[in-house]
Copies of this chain bind each other. A is one copy, B any other.
């Protein structure tokens, strides 16, 4: 350092660090106007709020650079934990090395078709096999007697399910409900095209209309991590179970899920969000057929390249799990991911306790059949509440350069925010460090 400062004065560093911070702040402002998730969420009362967000930590090199700057000059950088970008998992797959490398040649997988003998003609047989296997190994879902349908992420499968479950030629759109707090994109995804087939009808707990409805059950729940069951419980309802987080790093696996229509995704199970691969397990053949038809009309199938890559990654998850603790010198996937989540939740709870102005949900411990241990859920998102007289937790945190998604987007009070627990180590650690220093 002494040598460097003999060439570059401290003033040079100061100017450089200021420039870097100005560019980051400008980027954040620009991003606030255009990026993901650029959703319009209509509240029950018809208010329209436009929220647009982007990750400021999407490149590890820029992230590392800004961390260094912060350490040097003490100026805080923006920490974006608004999305659930699962970059935490990169570290594991780097350790695994070449075993999950895919090689695809120019002439391979060119056809629209994957398997014409399957009702889901665009599903790669290798992926179908590894999906069934990973559920068998983990014990988190029944696949026997189910149709497996692949989708471009579970988002597409959610829309396919709405299409498939809506009554044909009904007098009005079927109501789509979910218990609040619900996944913030459900309302805008449902109402985006003003469909005559289905319509967002808000919180399932206050739903009392007669007639058919679709209830979305997310368990463990996004944003709050709770185990969920349907709450409307009427005979004319159909259920969609979004089980994106029903994996042993997040929650104890108590039994194989056995519902009519279940959704999963690699984004949250293995961390491969960029693949855009999800799958549905569907009991009823006619529902499966209609979901497949939706995907045909929407995107004429699903990327074969990503399906093959997903198959390879899921195979590694199963292989590593069957080897128990370690697998060819590497921790098994769920041992790694359970351990990291446990450490992060411990750090977060310590930070929250030391700040005294936030609180977190408490979860009852339960036995996990897969890990064969009792533990408390350690969700992919923290559902943080601002206590005392802080009414808008999202704005409060933004004042401390922490971006998180406020409660109103999930149909509840703005005293809550959802914070991603799946970002890279440096971002997560900076977050808990900053949180612990916030005092009123």
Contact = CB atoms under 8 A, between A and B. Distances in A.
A248 interface: no
Contact of A111 (B58, B103, B192, B289): B58
A385 interface: no
Interface string A97-137: 11111111111011111101101011000000000000000
A306 B108 CA distance: 12
Nearest to A90: B107
A271 B108 CA distance: 11
Given A276-B301, A309-B305, A87 B111 contact: yes
Contacts of A153: 299-301
Contact of A94 (B55, B58, B107, B121): B107
A334 to B, nearest CB: 16
B274 A111 contact: yes
A112 B298 contact: no
B309 A104 contact: yes
A36 B97 CA distance: 38
A142 interface: no
A112 B268 CA distance: 11
B274 A189 contact: no
A110 B272 CA distance: 5
Interface string A283-305: 00000010011101111111111
A336 interface: no
A113 B58 contact: yes
A110 B271 contact: yes
B106 A104 contact: no
A249 interface: no
8 contacts: A31-B116, A36-B122, A38-B292, A90-B110, A91-B107, A100-B106, A110-B271, A152-B303
The 9 closest A-B pairs by CB, nearest first: A100-B106, A194-B196, A93-B107, A58-B113, A303-B303, A93-B106, A274-B304, A152-B299, A305-B305
Interface of A: 27, 31, 34-39, 54-56, 58-59, 83, 85-87, 89-94, 96-107, 109-114, 116-117, 119, 121-122, 152-153, 155-156, 159, 163, 185, 188-189, 192-197, 267, 271-277, 289, 292-294, 296-306, 309, 312-313, 316
